[in-house]
Structure 1
Amino acid sequence: MKNLLEDFQPVSKAEWLAKMEKDLKGKPLSDLQWHISETVSTPPFYHPEDMSRPAPPLLKGRSSNEWAIGEYINVKAPEDAHTALMEGLNGGVEAPLFRLYQPIGEADIALLLSGVAPEMVALNFGEYYTNKAPEALFHTFANWLNKQKAPLKNIAGSIDFDPLLDWSEPPIQTLAQLMRNCIEKMPLFRPLQVNAKTFHGGPEQVVDELAMTLAKGNAYLNALEAEGINSQAANAHLQFGLAISKSYFVEIAKLRAFRLLWANILKGHGSIGQPFITAHFAHESQDDKVNTNIIRASTQAMSAVIGGIDRLYVLPSNHVTGEPDQPFGRRIARNVQHLLKMESHLHRVADPGAGSFLIEKLTAQLAEQAWARFQELDQQQAFGF
């Protein structure tokens, strides 16, 4: 078969620049720079000469870009939450996140998870009330698992336990004991989350967002090492909750940069590995046009997936109106992820953003600046215990 590209002569960067300067009729090319922040900007075009060699794809130690389809389940009445859960599971949800608005007991857990095979789905819990007690929640869940004779080594999931976020005196000993239990009995369960959603401020603050997330995660590794848990084990039971907003290319590059940076943090602790990232939509000021928000959900989900997240939560399109979630809205939110897998096949390519000059350059730029900022925060012990 004839190679059609042979009919076209390569064009140098200098030739492209000359052509653009002519078309701009004296207007400086620098006026077309995309200024993301005071320190981060991108040129209006890229050329192969800008990259001495292609950056290697970020494989994360795996051969695909598989992610788990998540869904929020609001638990105000266990019966209603169970109905929503079964609807979601039948619709393809793989990682429900139970948002608890009051403490629950073992009877509530039994009602909530009735008919669920816990080894077949990742079960995640977040406490959205005062006087949080993650240790009690974990033991309630573990007791239910034991009564179900569930294979604990196959139980995946998490607890949104971020000691530096919710406690004036971070209960690091409680966290360490939870992590020891998981290391011994539940190797796929993650009892610690670095909740970085509070650091999200849009593309203008993306460098600080990355640096603060790194600093907080590193502080946890240091604290857990002091409790006798090495960084390799801690990372296996840790997840990062990151917010995703509308700046499509910035969000892709942010996630890719974070994966590089966290691997560097682990290297500094004498370990190897990658971060486990859950992506959540940022609570932005959006209008109440449901169809517009469906489009926003699609592009935000796509940027998260191309960036390489491990679990994704897509908000129903009426979320910002304050109305209760409806089955149709939850179904459409789930189907956004199904389309990205079943029609776009983004789970089959290990690093979909690899090879894009814009994304590669922006990834490198964010990583370099965020690392410098992290070093400043680390010296200041911004998240010390």
Structure 2
Amino acid sequence: MADTPRSTPVSFSEFEAVTTTQWQERITRDLKGQDPAALSWLTPDGLTVEPFYHQEALQALGGAPTPLVRTAPTWRNVPTYSVPAGDRGHAAIDRAAAGLERGAEGAHFLLSNAGTFDVDYLHQKVSLNSAYVGYSMRSGLGELVKRLQELNLTPQGFFVLDPITCHAPDVPSQLTELRTALQTCQAWPAVSIVGINSAYYADRGATVTQQIAFALATAATYLSEIPREDITVEMVARALHLHVGINPNYFFEIAKLRAFRRLFATLLQAYGVPTAIAQELPIFASTSSWSQTTLDPHTNLLRVTTEAMSAVLGGATAVSVGRFDSLFHEPNEFAERLARNLPILLREEAYLDRVQDPAAGSYYLETLTDQLAHQAWILFQKIEAQGGLPGATGLVLQELHASAQAQFRRIANAEQVVVGTNKFQNPNEQFDYNPKRLLRSREFDSTRATYPTEVLRLATAMHFDRRERKRKRSALVLLGAHTNQHILESFLRTLPAAERPELREAHPDGTLSVLFSSAEEATLMYATPEQYGRLARAINHIPIDEPNFIPSALLTADLPTMQEAIRVFGFQEFTVQGYSTEDVLARLQGKK
């Protein structure tokens, strides 16, 4: 149109171009004798991040890579709702229906038992011909698809079964179930039936490189194992759907999604499938439970904000933001509303959907994407060399365990900062939940990064609680496997170097760490799993040989009984010569 203003070329000709060498000289001068290499950051993935990147970075990549192109105008805002085992899901469905009326653009159901989920009720509350709905489950895919088919629908959304990632004991039968569902879903072009649950790894401490490699290995398994005479590799490729978990490492999470799409295209090329399918791959990104905390929980709101931003800037097609209080509160409208509105703010007020690939051309992000893709491909090849998945599951779990334990140690030593938990704590924090009840709950997520630190804080809060003092009872709190080592490392860092050496050998690996609390004292102890199990049975009056008993993380009894049980079952005290137990606790909580 004639009145449309024309764009003016942007030019900064008045400024002279600065070369990489000139930047390096300026950095060296500003550091006043310090080694510039000290500014480089060695990441848990083994990558070295430089203090700055310049145009030569793109030249090293052979020029700027082709930008990603979204296949939809924007991403969907898809909250997640959990449905417990034995529950038909009516409460979750009601919340999902209300969310769709208030800004959500879909719903994702985590089904403990897909066979009992009331699809008819769902369709009454939500039009499944128009609503975008996802279902994640460990079994029951065939039955769920059959019941949806009986409703004569043309649904849209996705299913995630993923027996490979979830280590299902009956992989062959579930692959058969996936084939049948895939054939059924050919009549549902807007449904992705073959889901990869990469969030499983993100929620258990995997590095970014590991998440990409493990997801790629899973995709390779499905591309190899699902096809039959009537199911082509291309059909499987077009039916794939990726569910990823997003953590707070902002730039790495952006690069993670971009690197996976790039490697997925390479994988498709190896199978003789059009690589353009990689651009169309639906990616459902949910904020990760791994990074959530029970301490200073409102910081979770800040974490999920950066996580959601990483997801949409990285190219996710749907985003699910978790509740900030999901670890210790039942679902509630306040927390759900905040979570639901966050993606809306990113679109409607931050305009993050106005650019196809915001990371395209960034010296740093393009380099990071390339490095992650390179490292992940090496790990993927290592998995394939062992026969691929599920045969190489042992290798995958070994890698996952090592990375999670390393992260536990970094958090315990405050090398990795978790705001409000191991740094910048709120000394006057008042819990709006019952720590004792939370520790006893089997639903309390013990797989998170901050769990060992949290349990110590919660347990000591219980110890100093006046009500416990009045009752004159004692408590034994299970801090978790390997936690004693993390506690020891944390405490050793508070001591002069000369006092540390022999302490490290004094505490064996492979034990559980516990906190023994009475009204007068708190003692850190450790025991083998067998010792703890036998003591728990004695305290709960369960026969010692009862095989189906699951010990609670919190045991309480009168003080004489607990003291006698600890003596009989042989728990060892966490002793540090010259320091009282109160001293240890005070130091660990930053009070000294």
User: TM above 0.5, one fold?
Assistant: yes
The amino acid of 2:34's aligned partner reads: K
CA contact (8 A) 1:123 1:158 kept: yes
2:383 paired residue number: 377
Q: Quick check: 1:174 aligned with 2:181? A: no
After TM superposition, list the pairs within 5 Å mapping 1:233-382 onto structure 2: 233-272=235-274, 273-274=277-278, 275-284=281-290, 285-320=292-327, 322-382=328-388
Q: Are residue 72 (structure 1) and residue 80 (structure 2) matched?
A: yes
In the alignment of these two chains, the number of paired residues is 370
Deviations 1:238-262 (A, max 9, x none): 2111111011111111111001000
Offset at residue 162 of structure 1 (A): 1.0
In structure 2, C-alpha distance between the alignment counterparts of 1:2 and 1:160, rounded to whole Å? 47
Change (3 A) 1:7 1:86: same
Give the CA deviation at 1:110.
1.9
After TM superposition, the structure 1 stretch with the greater mean CA deviation from structure 2, 71-80 or 16-25, is 71-80
CA contact (8 A) 1:70 1:313 kept: yes
Question: Which amino acid letter does the alignment assign opposite residue 77 of structure 2?
Answer: I
Instruction: Give 1:193 shift.
Output: 1.1
Partner amino acid, structure 2, of 1:168: P
Aligned pair in 2 of structure 1 residues 82, 213: CA closer, same or farther (>3 Å)?
Answer: closer
User: Identity of counterpart residues, as a percentage?
Assistant: 28
Query: Aligned partners of 1:350 and 1:38: how far apart in 2?
Result: 28
Letter in 2 for 1:98: F
Per the TM alignment, residue 222 of structure 1 is displaced from its structure 2 partner at its CA by 0.3
Change (3 A) 1:375 1:79: closer
Within 1, Cα distance between the matches of 2:148 and 2:192? Answer: 13
Distance in 2 between residues matched to 1:221 and 1:118, nearest whole Å = 29
Aligned-pair CA distance for 1:158: 2.0
Q: Which has the higher contact order (CA 8 A, sep 6+)?
A: 1
Report the equivalent of 2:137. Answer: 127
Preserved contact between residue 285 and residue 320 of structure 2 (Cα < 8 Å): yes
Greater share of helix residues, 1 or 2? 1
Distance 1:63 1:86, change over 3 A: closer
Equivalent in 58, 64, 75 of residue 51 of structure 1: 58
- Which position in structure 1 is the counterpart of 2:586? none
- What TM-score does the superposition give when structure 1 sets the normalisation length? 0.89
- Tell me the amino acid that sits aligned with residue 42 of structure 1: V
Unaligned runs of 5+ in 1: none
Alignment-mate amino acid for residue 185 of structure 2: C
Distance 1:355 1:373, change over 3 A: same
Deviation string, structure 1 residues 85-140 (Cα, Å, up to 9, x no partner) = 2211001222201223445558x322233142212211222236xxx321111111
Q: Which amino acid aligns with 1:313?
A: S
Q: Does 1:26 align with 2:26?
A: no
Work out the CA distance in 1 between the residues paired with 2:350 and 2:30. Answer: 36
Q: In structure 1, what is the equivalent of residue 47 of structure 2?
A: 40
Structure of greater Rg:
2
> Which residue in the other structure is 2:453 paired with?
none
> TM-score, length-normalised on structure 2?
0.59
**Residues 203 and 26 of structure 1, relative CA distance in 2, 3 Å threshold:** farther
2:99 alignment counterpart: 88
Following TM superposition, by how much is the alpha carbon of 1:290 offset from its aligned partner in structure 2, in angstroms? 4.0
Change (3 A) 1:127 1:199: closer
Structure-2 residue corresponding to 1:162: 162
Decide whether aligned partners of structure 1 residues 161 and 63 sit closer, same or farther in structure 2, where only a CA change above 3 A counts: closer
Give matches, 1:10-25, under 5 Å.
10-25=17-32
Partner residue, 2:207: 205
Given that residues 232 and 271 in structure 1 are in contact (C-alpha distance below 8 angstroms), is that contact kept between their aligned partners in structure 2? yes
Q: Is the 8 A contact 2:57 2:367 kept in 1?
A: no
Classify 1:101/1:224 alpha carbon distance in 2 versus 1 (closer, same or farther; 3 Å): closer
Distance 1:90 1:261 in 2: 38
Alignment of 1:93-108 (within 5 A): 93-104=104-115, 108=118
